[in-house]
Chains A and B, each alone.
Chain A
Amino acid sequence: MTLLDFARGPAMQIAIIIFVVGIVWRLVGVWALPKKKDLSEPRQKGAWVGGLKGLFVHAWPYKPFVPKVGAQYIIGYIIHLGLFIVLIFGTPHMLFFADIVGFTWWTLPGGVITAVAVVTTLALFVALIRRLVNPVHRLISNFDDYATWFVTTAPFVTGLMTTMNMWPDYETGLAIHLLSVWLLLIYFPFGKLMHSFWFVVSRYTTGSRFARRGGMA
Chain B
Amino acid sequence: MSDTSVTEIELDYESKRLSVRKPEERFDVQGDMSDDERVEKAMVNFAKDFGRVAATYMEACIHCGACAHACPFYEASGDPRHTPIWKLEPFKQAYKREAGPLAFMYKTLNLKPKVTVDELKDWQELLYDTCTLCGRCTLICPMSIDIATLVGMARHGMFHAGLVPHELYTVTEKAQKEGSPLGATPSVFEDRIEWMGDEHEVEMNVNEDQADVLVLMSSIEIQKYPESMAATAKILNHMGKSWTFRTDGYEATNFGMLSGNTGWQKDMSMKVISTAEKIGAKVVILPECGHAYQAMRWQGANMYGKPLPFEVQHISEFLASAVESGDLKLKTVNKSVAFHDPCQVSRRGGATPAPRKVLEALGVELREAESGGNLNFCCGGGGGVITIHRADTLRYKIMANKFRQLDATGAEMMVTSCSNCRQNFDESGEKLNWGKDMNSLLELVAENLVEEGKR
Q: Which residues of A contact B (CB under 8 A)?
A: 25-26, 28-31, 33-36, 38-41, 43, 54, 58-59, 61-62, 64-65, 68-69, 72-73, 76, 134-145, 190, 192, 194-195, 198-199, 201-203, 205-207, 209-210, 213-217
Contact = CB atoms under 8 A, between A and B. Distances in A.
B83 A29 contact: no
B302 A206 contact: no
A133 to B, nearest CB: 12
Contacts of B305: 39
Interface stretch (B342-350, B384-392, B435-443): B342-350
A65 B144 contact: no
B56 interface: yes
Contacts of A194: 59
A69 B102 contact: no
Interface of B: 50-53, 55-57, 59-66, 68-70, 74, 80-81, 83, 85-86, 99-102, 105, 111, 135, 138-146, 297-302, 304-308, 311-312, 346-352, 370-371, 374-375
A84 B28 CA distance: 51
Given A29-B100, A39-B301, A206-B146, A140 B307 contact: no
B80 A30 contact: no
A69 B59 CA distance: 22
11 contacts: A35-B52, A40-B297, A65-B140, A68-B140, A136-B80, A139-B81, A190-B105, A205-B56, A213-B349, A216-B374, A217-B138
A33 B58 CA distance: 13
A190 B102 CA distance: 8
Given A39-B305, A40-B301, A136 B83 contact: yes
Which secondary structure dominates where chain A touches chain B?
helix
Nearest to B302: A39
Contacts of A143: 111
A211 to B, nearest CB: 9
Contacts of B299: 40
A76 B80 CA distance: 21
A196 B83 CA distance: 23
Given A40-B298, A215-B348, A215-B350, A140 B65 contact: yes
B99 to A, nearest CB: 8
A30 B140 contact: no
Given A30-B55, A217-B135, A206 B144 contact: yes
Highest count of chain B CB atoms <10 Å: which of A38, A68, A143, A216: A216
A69 B352 contact: no
A214 B349 contact: yes
A65 B70 contact: yes
Contacts, number: 171
Contacts of A210: 350
A58 B143 contact: yes
A41 B307 contact: yes
B62 A216 contact: no
Give the 7 A-B residue pairs with the shortest CB-CB distance, closest first.
Answer: A29-B101, A214-B350, A216-B374, A202-B60, A39-B301, A198-B60, A215-B350
Nearest to A202: B60
Nearest to A137: B65
B101 A199 contact: no
A199 B144 CA distance: 8
A143 B55 CA distance: 20
Contacts of B81: 139
B350 A43 contact: yes
Contacts of B80: 135-136, 138-140
B347 A216 contact: yes
A191 to B, nearest CB: 10
B62 A192 contact: yes
Contacts of B307: 39-41
B439 to A, nearest CB: 23
B352 to A, nearest CB: 6
B64 A72 contact: yes
Contacts of B66: 61, 65, 68-69, 72
B57 A202 contact: yes
Contacts of B370: 64
Contact of B63 (A68, A140, A201): A140
A214 B69 contact: no
Given A39-B306, A215-B352, A134 B59 contact: no
Given A202-B56, A205-B56, 15 more contacts: A38-B302, A39-B304, A40-B297, A40-B308, A58-B144, A62-B375, A65-B66, A136-B68, A139-B80, A142-B63, A190-B102, A201-B60, A205-B57, A206-B145, A209-B53
Contacts of B70: 65
Given A65-B70, A215-B348, A35 B146 contact: no
